[in-house]
Amino acid sequence: DAKTTQPPSMDCAEGRAANLPCNHSTISGNEYVYWYRQIHSQGPQYIIHGLKNNETNEMASLIITEDRKSSTLILPHATLRDTAVYYCIVRVPFKAAGNKLTFGGGTRVLVKP
């Protein structure tokens, strides 16, 4: 699976949009971009995933660049409860090969009042 690079930490203002970047310059054509977050002392929570088109759900939006070498997770209106570590993970479809989901360091996001 392709390696990802995320900033170790970032602060966001409550009520404002939070834009979380992720670089995955070695991504392969069949690899998806997944985002999870982990609130303190909880298990990771699935947020969103995509292949090449932008995706949106009730939690967030995922913007993937045209060359797919980077992506941005957007939390449209950050709340204090969005404070967590956010993980960007790139991997092939589970059906294709292997079942492992490997976590990197993630971005520690602190939403401030």
Binding site for another protein (CB under 8 A): 34, 36, 38, 41-46, 49, 87, 93-95, 99-106
- Identify the residue whose tokens are 């995933």: 49
Query: How far apart are CB 45 and another protein at their closest, in Å?
Result: 7
Are 87 and 112 contacting, i.e. CB atoms less than 8 angstroms apart?
A: no
- Taking the least distance from each CB to another protein, the nearer of 17 and 45 is 45
Phi, psi of 81 (to 5 degrees): -75, -10
CB of 14 or CB of 49, closer to another protein: 49
The least CB distance from residue 15 to another protein, in Å, is 26
Cβ proximity to another protein, 42 vs 67, nearer residue: 42
Rama region for 99: left / alpha / beta (φ>0; ψ in -120 to 50; rest)? alpha
Q: Which is nearer to another protein, 7 or 14 (CB)?
A: 7
| Residues 24/88, Cβ–Cβ less than 8 Å | yes
For the bound state, the minimum distance from the C-beta of residue 61 to another protein, rounded and expressed in Å, comes to 17
Residue with tokens 């970047």: 21
